[in-house]
Amino acid sequence: MLILFEGDEPGAEEVDHLVELVERESGVDLVGVRVSTYPMAETVEALVARLEWEGQVGPEALRRLATYAVEAVGGRRVVAAVWAEDTNAWVRRMIPQHLAKVDGFGLGLVRRPGWARLTTDAAMSFVASAVDGAGWRFPDVHIVVSVLPESRPRRVRRLMSGGYIRWVDSVFRRAEAPLGKVDVAHWLVCGQQAVHLAYLPADLDVIPLLPWELLSRAEKRGGSKVV
């Protein structure tokens, strides 16, 4: 939640009061939501656009933004901005767990800046709110998201005509993923229960990561399971 204020910066009690006002107005439970305050030197839209460019909020933040003008102590005007609920908020918990499993194998790709980017709030926010086939270019990694209705690997594989590698080629093309120019991460959000990841480094000398459980038998030949 962002609070843009006129005059003096609101204190803790005033911020709590503003949060309560926005909760009543929006019907959204803001317990545990991080609150940041900014002087009203720019519009909400300009501020969010700048924060998105700096990587402090997720891509397409303006599309999910709702603003509320409230009156603070002393009649000061305050504008509060909140985001719509993530479509798949549960992935925020799953992503760090999934990456931690890969980290333990000592692969070269885990030392790349793009890999570190995957656990930032901006990157996880994008995955949590993305629709099927969405892609976004961060400074050091291009993230593509596929949202699939099944969670069991066998059923997910049936949705991939010709195997994962052949299927994902068309996914990358539609998402305009610049393979070979920047690292590309492909998150598969499956059935509200599971996530899988492919990570293709731009450096061809670094071994890529493929979603082992989703590969066909032919695709698994010569490889080994990581996670």
Is 227 inside a domain boundary? no
Q: Are residues 59 and 126 in the same domain?
A: no
Same domain, 142 and 39: no
Last residue of one domain, picked from the residues 51, 83, 115: 83
Is the pLDDT confidence value at 97 over 60?
yes
Q: What is the pLDDT of residues 180-219, one digit of tens each?
A: 999 999 999 999 889 999 999 999 999 999 999 999 989 9
- Regarding whether 104 and 42 lie in a shared domain, the answer is no
- pLDDT tens for 33-60 read 778 889 888 888 898 888 888 877 777 7
User: What distances in angstroms separate CA 41 from CA 30, 47, 174, 212, one per listed residue?
Assistant: 25, 9, 39, 50
Residue 212 is part of which domain span?
Answer: 91-220
Q: What is the pLDDT of residue 44?
A: 86
| C-alpha neighbours within 13 Å on the C-beta side of residue 124 | 16
Q: Are residues 38 and 141 in the same domain?
A: no
Decide which of 30, 56, 83 is a domain's last residue: 83
Report d(CA 199, CA 190) in Å as an integer. 17
Task: Report if residue 226 sits inside a domain.
Answer: no
Last residue of a domain, one of 36, 63, 83: 83
Residues 125, 76: one domain?
no
One domain, residues 146 and 166 = yes
Residues 114 and 197 in one domain: yes
pTM given for the model: 0.70
Give the chain's length: 227
Number of domains in the chain: 2
pLDDT tens figures, 112-167: 999 999 998 878 888 988 889 999 888 899 999 999 999 999 999 999 989 999 99
Torsion of CA 130, 64, 30, 133, to 10 degrees: 0
